[in-house]
Amino acid sequence: MNNTMNNQYDDIIIKLLHYFITEQGYNPIVLHGAKEEIWLENLNGDYQIIRIASNYIHNKEQLDYDIYKTSRIMKDIQKKTFSFNINTLNILLNLGDSVNLENNLNEITSINVKNIDDLNNDQVLKEKFPSITKMMDYKEKGIELFMKLTSDINRKNEEDARKAEDVFKLKKPIVTMVLISINIMMFVLMYVFGNGSTDSLTLLKFGASHPELIRAGQYYRLITSSFLHIGLMHLFFNNYALYIIGPQLESFYGKIKFIVIYLFTAITSTLLSMLFFGGVSAGASGSIFGLLGALLYFGYHYRVYLGTVIKSQIMPLIIINLLIGFSLPGINNAAHIGGLIGGVLISIAIGVKYKSTNFEKLNGWIMSGIFTGFLIYLAFLGI
């Protein structure tokens, strides 16, 4: 946020900032080199970006250049936040009387606001922000008003910073370490009390997945198969992936939600596997793909922080592993896909801290139930 603003516009600027930040949940965006303009973002709002500009625009050519410059910055924000579409409200405070605002880009809505009275007359603000004029009526005046508004804005920014720190602060990955320990323990026990991890009868004895046995009533295999591994390399790669991804997700969602994601995706991955993989199968990869799906959903809500990571690391990792699964024999890619979809859906249901609404979570539970019911129908009745 640039601090160089025209003094004559300070009053309306601080009031607009106070309204959008404290009442509408927008956050300032730091743009180096931007002068006489302030950018705010709320990726869940009707307008994901709000720009407040006090630079003087006195003719059509200047307006066209201003909108072009705004669209370029929007595209950069879109790439960084992994957003497919960004609508911007472009609030111009210093527009010449002869400049026509009709010809604008579709994703940029420019309005002319020179004073508080203009807020009452603008149709865009009335429709999208009907409370804005009521929130501009303050008892305080002068320096007292300025101190109140800046104090409220700082308090809101501090609260947002505290929430972000709470979410992103790494906690001890106790559940992740327990899951890894169980995987290793079960691997060892298959050699102590059986013929090893590559023996089909031993795998079945310890709870590996087999469609016919599950349909016969051994439903526990929907979960227990995710704790068994076939061979040392299978164990190593899955545990290494869990060691890398698990602590992040456990920290972001919390221990209980992390367990719910892991076990739910173990079930959805095994159910979808039953449709395409007829033999003995085992492994935590379905749940690991579920964690990746949960990370995608979390990253969507916090894409201001993780947008670049999603595009450069998470998405390529998912795509590459799915392509490997389709190209190499013996890899149960159906389990991967079932886990990935299940991970996204159950994450919607349990919600992301400070971001998800009750309505979103309700829809998540409904979608998770429909998806699971559909898989159960196909696996048990639709064969």
**DSSP codes joined into one string, 134-173:** GGG--S--HHHHHHHHHHHHHHHHHHHHHHHHHHHS----
Query: Both 219 and 138 in a single domain?
Result: no
In a domain, 361, yes or no: yes
> Which of 110, 197, 209, 285 is flagged as catalytic?
285
Query: Both 115 and 154 in a single domain?
Result: yes
User: Is-catalytic flag, 234?
Assistant: no
Listed residues 132, 167, 202: the one ending a domain: 167
> Which of 273, 287, 336, 347 is flagged as catalytic?
336
Query: Both 216 and 291 in a single domain?
Result: yes
Q: What is the pLDDT of residue 103?
A: 54
Q: CATH number of the domain that 371 lies in?
A: 1.20.1540.10
Among 34-38, 45-49, 170-174, 368-372, top mean pLDDT goes to 368-372
Number of domains into which the chain is organized: 2
Query: Both 313 and 179 in a single domain?
Result: yes
Q: What is the pLDDT of residue 327?
A: 73
pLDDT 10s digits, 258-272: 999 999 999 999 999
CA distances 269 to 19, 227, 342, Å, are 46, 13, 8
Query: Both 14 and 104 in a single domain?
Result: yes
Domain housing 370: 171-381
Query: Both 197 and 56 in a single domain?
Result: no
In a domain, 1, yes or no: no
pLDDT 10s digits, 182-216: 999 999 999 999 999 999 999 999 999 999 999 99
Nearest to 291 by CA among 345, 249, 336, 260: 249
Listed residues 167, 183, 213: the one ending a domain: 167
User: Is-catalytic flag, 83?
Assistant: no
pLDDT band at 337 (very low <50, low <70, confident <90, very high): very high
Query: Both 237 and 150 in a single domain?
Result: no
Listed residues 167, 201, 229: the one ending a domain: 167
